[in-house]
Structure 1
Amino acid sequence: MSKIGFIFPGQGAQEVGMGQELYNKYPEIADYFNRAEEILNLDLKRICFEGPEFDLNLTENTQPALFTMSAAIDDYLKKQGLVPDMVAGHSLGEYSALTSAGAINFEDNLKLVRQRGQAMEEALPAGLGTMAAIIGLDIDTIEDICSKVVGVCEVANINTPNQIVISGEKEAVATAMERLNNAGAKKVVELSVSGPFHSSLMEPAVNRLKSVIENVEIKDASIPIVANATAEKVIDSNIIEENLIAQLTSSVRWVESINLMIDEGIDTFVEVGSGRVLKGLLRRIDRSVDCYSTRNIKDLEKIIGDLI
């Protein structure tokens, strides 16, 4: 019998129209969007279903939008009988994983991700920080080049063995991009983001979010979560809290996280939420495992037919 891992996407997975088909078909999923609007006093359905893209891409909107969709689909799948053996989430997705594992309830976590988005948006004045994806260079070369750049430039996401994201001050990242190109990278692309996420420049967001997290009830998880900051399994509520605070300035160690899950026997992954970003990354980490998407009715029907 398959061991199931739920993985939850972060920023970059959003798209205008996300969740609308599922909202119209499944009352259980619609309930989550309706509750989220009431809790946040935010026109979340319009932002998700109609856009405009600018509104959806504002970090303070993107994060609750993605979290709500993931939490709704997660709950729907469990009610159909599909329960994960282990969970992990990419950046923001770690918050969705925590709700899936019973560590933080939906309402508290929704408020938390909204404040996380606001804190990240306001951590640095717009235009001073950025991120870039590097394709086709190893981590050691990237870290070495980043360490020799004047200013802040750090590894933010280790998404696959050959796709690594750097983050930092705009000029420092631009310099690193040029040097990484010269070092033989296949592709170097600046990302369309509002800040230098998962770098030390997020320290102001840490200070703001720490007090918020400390006032949220965090329980021991019912199943193991693989943490971004450590790529280790965690159940203990105190360690979960430490990891959430560390996560804002730490690298997302996604390759190690997925490999750990596979080593633990997970052979079937379900990307719970919008998009297919994590499915694409998984194929570049290990093609031997299966991965299902959950973006639409067709996706959910396939999962129910194959796995339940």
Structure 2
Amino acid sequence: MSKLAFVFPGQGAQYVGMGKDIVENFEIANKIFEQASEAIGYDMKKMCFEGPEEELKKTENTQPAILTTCIAIAKVLEEKGITPDISAGLSLGEYASLVMANVMDFKDAVLLVKKRGKYMQEAVPLGVGTMAAILGMEREDLEKALEKAKEFGIVEAANFNSPGQIVISGEVSAVEKACEFTKEMGAKKAVVLPVSAPFHCSMLVPAGEKLALELENVKINDFKIPVIANVNADYYKEKTEVKDLLVKQVSHSVLWEDSVIKMLEAGVDTFIEIGPGKSLSGFIKKINRKLKKEISIYNVENIETLEKLLSNF
């Protein structure tokens, strides 16, 4: 039996102008942006549609901006009768999945991710940590390179995005050494990323602790649809797991490749990437090369891509 999944991107997908034409054409999307502005205390439309880019790139602005754009577009799809059987999101995108599953109220979620962004940014002083993308290397070989690099400081696998694309995170000197070692061991490329903090590694444990305190005030509801968690690439079993797994997610690896495999094995044959960019669509294509399933992948980020999707449904 065919299944449909909504998938949501993480930080880095943002761009000035995202969501603008959707909001101008759909009142439900406009309402989501207004709710976001009310919850966080500044004009979300201005932030997303006008920037400036430097402001939008600040982690505490990026996270609520992407979440708002994703939910605005997802609500339009819902209004058009397109609803998911299952959902997952990459890092920040997991919050969009939880909102769509009715587990978290949108206004609670948008304020929460603003604080999450702030805590993640503050956890490590600027210039102390970084991240790098390692291309064309198997997990087992990468682990060996990381073990060697750990002599120079903290360095860990942060994101398992797709076969041959893994992001590492940690202290600058250790990440740079890991890049050297991975290239020596046959990686096609090792590229230090222009990020402001070493996300999804143990250096962000303090951010998770602050997030835990914020989560105490957030109401968690029953799941309307299954959602896959980044931390273990498995379905949330109970609503009581939500807070603990979201806290862990800040400082643990994002198991995106494993999460997509879980959806493919569950019979998902249509993926809709909702929100800015289409990096997840690329990852899903690469992940499916091994499984060779018959799948359709769409991304919806503006009127043009929305119309393309609707013409197929």
- When normalised by structure 2's length, the TM-score is 0.96
**Which residue number corresponds to residue 113 of structure 2?**
113
Helix, strand or coil at the partner of 1:196? coil
Aligned residues: 307
Whether the 8 Å CA contact 2:73–2:301 is kept in 1: the answer is no
Match of 1:300 among 300, 306, 310: 306
Whether the 8 Å CA contact 2:120–2:199 is kept in 1: the answer is yes
Helix, strand or coil at the partner of 1:221? coil
Whether the 8 Å CA contact 1:156–1:250 is kept in 2: the answer is yes
Superimposed CA distance per residue, residues 194-224 of structure 1 (whole angstroms, 9 cap, x where no aligned partner): 1000000001101111111122111121111
**Which residue number corresponds to residue 238 of structure 1?**
240
Instruction: Please state how far the C-alpha of 1:61 moved relative to its aligned partner.
Output: 0.4
For residues 229 and 250 of structure 2, the distance between their equivalents in structure 1, rounded to whole angstroms, comes to: 12
Instruction: Please state how far the C-alpha of 1:145 moved relative to its aligned partner.
Output: 1.0
Whether the 8 Å CA contact 1:18–1:49 is kept in 2: the answer is yes
Structure 1 range deviating more: 26-35 or 156-165: 26-35
**Which residue number corresponds to residue 39 of structure 2?**
39
Instruction: Please state how far the C-alpha of 1:48 moved relative to its aligned partner.
Output: 1.2
Alignment of 1:41-56 (within 5 A): 41-56=41-56
For residues 43 and 168 of structure 1, the distance between their equivalents in structure 2, rounded to whole angstroms, comes to: 34
Alignment of 1:1-308 (within 5 A): 2-149=2-149, 150-286=152-288, 288-307=294-313
How many percent of aligned residue pairs carry the same amino acid? 44
For residues 70 and 161 of structure 2, the distance between their equivalents in structure 1, rounded to whole angstroms, comes to: 20
Superimposed CA distance per residue, residues 19-42 of structure 1 (whole angstroms, 9 cap, x where no aligned partner): 111121212111211221122112
Whether the 8 Å CA contact 2:6–2:272 is kept in 1: the answer is yes
Any stretches of 5+ residues in structure 2 without a counterpart? none
Whether the 8 Å CA contact 2:19–2:73 is kept in 1: the answer is no
Instruction: Please state how far the C-alpha of 1:58 moved relative to its aligned partner.
Output: 0.5
For residues 113 and 220 of structure 1, the distance between their equivalents in structure 2, rounded to whole angstroms, comes to: 20
2:47 is matched by which residue type in structure 1?
I
Instruction: Please state how far the C-alpha of 1:235 moved relative to its aligned partner.
Output: 4.3
Instruction: Please state how far the C-alpha of 1:233 moved relative to its aligned partner.
Output: 1.0
2:53 is matched by which residue type in structure 1?
E
Helix, strand or coil at the partner of 1:222? coil
For residues 164 and 248 of structure 2, the distance between their equivalents in structure 1, rounded to whole angstroms, comes to: 25
Q: Where in structure 1 do 4 or more consecutive aligned residues deviate above 3 Å?
A: none
Structure 1 range deviating more: 170-179 or 28-37: 28-37
Helix, strand or coil at the partner of 1:203? helix
Instruction: Please state how far the C-alpha of 1:184 moved relative to its aligned partner.
Output: 1.4
For residues 115 and 10 of structure 1, the distance between their equivalents in structure 2, rounded to whole angstroms, comes to: 16
1:92 is matched by which residue type in structure 2?
L
For residues 126 and 74 of structure 1, the distance between their equivalents in structure 2, rounded to whole angstroms, comes to: 34
For residues 230 and 292 of structure 1, the distance between their equivalents in structure 2, rounded to whole angstroms, comes to: 25
Superimposed CA distance per residue, residues 282-306 of structure 1 (whole angstroms, 9 cap, x where no aligned partner): 1111154211111111111122221
For residues 284 and 266 of structure 1, the distance between their equivalents in structure 2, rounded to whole angstroms, comes to: 16
Whether the 8 Å CA contact 1:225–1:235 is kept in 2: the answer is no
Instruction: Please state how far the C-alpha of 1:191 moved relative to its aligned partner.
Output: 1.0
Instruction: Please state how far the C-alpha of 1:163 moved relative to its aligned partner.
Output: 0.2
Any stretches of 5+ residues in structure 1 without a counterpart? none
Helix, strand or coil at the partner of 1:67? helix
For residues 304 and 91 of structure 2, the distance between their equivalents in structure 1, rounded to whole angstroms, comes to: 27
For residues 204 and 246 of structure 2, the distance between their equivalents in structure 1, rounded to whole angstroms, comes to: 13
Superimposed CA distance per residue, residues 216-265 of structure 1 (whole angstroms, 9 cap, x where no aligned partner): 11112111101000000114111122211110111100111000001001
